[in-house]
């Protein structure tokens, strides 16, 4: 998910939405005028006051004394008025904050417009909290890790309300994609050691060495990696025998999972994070934001200039370039799954991180990337993974059944999209 973020963090300008822009410009002019007026008035009063004061001291007439008192009152009122006007105008002032850091094992880029405090550190904290408390299978205290530690015990695991709701959504995606999306793929994900690819370690401690292995083509630089060791068919079949979303049972908020099975929400976690960020922003003074968590992007509210958010889609055939941009206004969730996000290449074969639950091997559906746009983070993330495994035809059908916008890029670089996507997508180089 890592490499696409910067490009997806699109902040270029798109076509102007005329009425909003005009309104916005008028408001800006008015507030600047108020501030100027508020400053000028007391300054003039002060000058007048001091001129009369000097006059009254030198001449000392009763008339001058009266004038002095009158002007002092004027100065006081002017200053008060200025303070009120400046305060009111300042209240509506929107400040832009940006941040770039890592969380959830990926890059997080934020641009936030707010009339309140900088919330970017809170957003990063929220993502880290979600990872640590709920989603990570590596952190022993997280909910997923505790579920995985208890499989087969017969005791069951009492789910939090949030995770239960998430699992309901994900189960439905599994059912409607005929198992192309499956959160029980964890034993196979671990076998392929996909995390090590992401970390750029490259050396996988398994028995089977692939002939000719030795070159890492991962998106992140490797640290002294010398060889790639891939699992053999027997190991894949063995790991695959411990998968199957149908085996997950949830009764009265308690989850039961057979022994040897385990969960991995890697295909939906970044989308879940975007959902939580959107809820957090609603409680804040943020008026607009675009935040990317790996391959999942949230657009929220408005840009101060009234323009739509521009989210770039990476060209999966040449990741240094953009395929095009999406123009989005308001709250939207965009997720991309691509074979360029995490992979190793061995003997000219690319092994990427999206596995086909039917084979246990990286999906070979002929698709290089899928982008989903909809009003739910968890759904956009889960569906982009599911559609990648399904390929153009079945993936398009699934996307349409959910009523979400979808864009596929196949191995030849051809673009396929739902009708609804056409209205918001502009291909690079098109005008």
Residues that bind ligand AMP (CB under 6 A): 1, 181-183, 185, 189, 194, 264, 266-267, 295, 337, 341, 353-355, 357, 381, 384-385, 389
What residue 425 binds from Mg ion, ligand AMP, none (CB within 5 to 8 A, per partner kind)?
Answer: none
Residues in the chain: 431
Asked if 267 interacts with Mg ion (CB under 5 A), we say: yes
Rounded to the nearest angstrom, the gap between the alpha carbon of residue 374 and the centroid of all alpha carbons in its chain is: 13
Considering beta carbons, is residue 187 or 308 the nearer one to ligand AMP? 187
Rounded to the nearest angstrom, the gap between the alpha carbon of residue 226 and the centroid of all alpha carbons in its chain is: 34
What residue 303 binds from ligand AMP, Mg ion, none (CB within 5 to 8 A, per partner kind)?
Answer: none
Nearest approach, Cβ of residue 296 and Mg ion (Å) = 7
Considering beta carbons, is residue 55 or 190 the nearer one to ligand AMP? 190
Considering beta carbons, is residue 85 or 185 the nearer one to ligand AMP? 185
Nearest approach, Cβ of residue 294 and ligand AMP (Å) = 7
Q: Which of 381, 109, 167 is nearest to 267 (CA)?
A: 381
Q: Take residue 159 and report the two structure tokens written for it.
A: 């789910």
**Which residues, 6 or more positions from 2, have their beta carbon under 8 angstroms from its beta carbon?**
106, 107, 198, 219, 220, 294, 341, 342
What residue 380 binds from ligand AMP, Mg ion, none (CB within 5 to 8 A, per partner kind)?
Answer: none
What is the Cα–Cα distance from 410 to 316, expressed in whole angstroms?
9
Instruction: Please check whether residue 372 is in contact with residue 399, taking contact to mean a CB–CB distance below 8 angstroms.
Output: yes
What residue 183 binds from Mg ion, ligand AMP, none (CB within 5 to 8 A, per partner kind)?
Answer: ligand AMP
Considering beta carbons, is residue 216 or 267 the nearer one to ligand AMP? 267
Nearest approach, Cβ of residue 337 and ligand AMP (Å) = 3
Q: Which of 49, 385, 388, 398 binds Mg ion (CB under 5 A)?
A: 385
Q: What is the CA radius of gyration of the chain?
A: 29
Considering beta carbons, is residue 181 or 309 the nearer one to ligand AMP? 181
What is the Cα–Cα distance from 83 to 74, expressed in whole angstroms?
14
What residue 191 binds from ligand AMP, Mg ion, none (CB within 5 to 8 A, per partner kind)?
Answer: none
- Is residue 359 classed as helix, strand or coil in its secondary structure? coil
Q: Which of 67, 381, 387, 409 binds Mg ion (CB under 5 A)?
A: 381
What residue 353 binds from Mg ion, ligand AMP, none (CB within 5 to 8 A, per partner kind)?
Answer: ligand AMP
What residue 306 binds from ligand AMP, Mg ion, none (CB within 5 to 8 A, per partner kind)?
Answer: none
What is the Cα–Cα distance from 367 to 378, expressed in whole angstroms?
21
Q: H/E element holding 108?
A: strand 106-114
- CA distances to 172, 246, 335 from 175, rounded to whole Å, are 5, 9, 20
Cα angle at 40 between 35 and 45, to 5 degrees? 140
249 CB burial (10 A radius; 0-12, 13-18, 19+): exposed
Nearest approach, Cβ of residue 99 and ligand AMP (Å) = 23
Considering beta carbons, is residue 145 or 382 the nearer one to Mg ion? 382
Q: Take residue 79 and report the two structure tokens written for it.
A: 């200053």
Asked if 404 interacts with Mg ion (CB under 5 A), we say: no
Residues within the interface to Mg ion (CB under 5 A) = 267, 381, 384-385
């Amino acid at each position: 998910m890592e490499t696409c973020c910067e490009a997806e963090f699109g902040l270029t300008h798109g076509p102007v939405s005329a009425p909003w822009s005009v309104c916005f410009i008028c408001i800006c002019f008015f507030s600047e005028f108020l501030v100027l007026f508020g400053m000028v008035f007391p300054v003039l009063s002060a000058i007048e006051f001091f001129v009369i004061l000097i006059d009254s001291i030198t001449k000392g007439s009763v008339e001058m004394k009266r004038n002095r008192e009158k002007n002092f009152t004027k100065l006081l009122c002017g200053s008060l008025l200025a303070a009120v006007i400046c305060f009111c105008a300042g209240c509506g002032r929107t400040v832009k904050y940006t941040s770039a850091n890592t969380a959830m094992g990926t890059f997080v880029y934020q641009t936030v417009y707010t009339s309140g405090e900088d919330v970017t550190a809170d957003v990063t904290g929220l993502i880290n909290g979600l990872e640590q408390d709920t989603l990570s299978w590596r952190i022993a205290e997280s909910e997923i890790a505790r579920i995985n530690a208890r499989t087969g015990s017969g005791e069951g695991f009492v789910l939090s309300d949030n995770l239960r709701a998430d699992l309901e959504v994900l189960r439905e995606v599994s059912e409607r994609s005929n198992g192309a999306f499956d959160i029980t793929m964890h034993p196979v994900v671990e076998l392929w050691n996909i995390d090590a690819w992401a970390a750029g370690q490259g050396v996988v401690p398994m028995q089977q060495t692939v002939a000719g292995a030795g070159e890492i083509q991962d998106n992140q630089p490797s640290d002294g990696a010398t060889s790639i060791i891939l699992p053999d068919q027997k190991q894949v079949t063995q790991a695959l025998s411990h998968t199957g979303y149908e085996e997950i049972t949830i009764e009265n908020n308690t989850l039961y999972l057979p022994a040897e099975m385990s969960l991995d929400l890697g295909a939906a976690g970044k989308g879940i994070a975007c959902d939580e960020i959107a809820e957090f922003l609603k409680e804040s003074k943020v008026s607009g934001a675009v935040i990317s968590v790996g391959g999942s992007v949230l657009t929220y509210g408005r840009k101060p200039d009234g323009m739509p958010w521009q989210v770039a889609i990476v060209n999966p055939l040449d990741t240094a370039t953009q395929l095009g941009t999406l123009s989005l206004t308001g709250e939207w969730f965009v997720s991309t799954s691509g074979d360029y996000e995490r992979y190793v290449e061995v003997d000219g074969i690319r092994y990427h991180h999206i596995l086909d639950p039917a084979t246990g091997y990286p999906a070979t559906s002929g698709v290089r990337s899928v982008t989903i746009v909809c009003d739910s983070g968890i759904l956009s993330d889960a569906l982009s993974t599911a559609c990648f495994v399904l390929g153009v035809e079945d993936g398009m059908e699934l996307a349409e059944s959910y009523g979400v916008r979808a864009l596929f890029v196949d191995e030849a670089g051809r673009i396929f999209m739902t009708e609804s996507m056409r209205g918001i997508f502009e291909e690079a180089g098109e005008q």
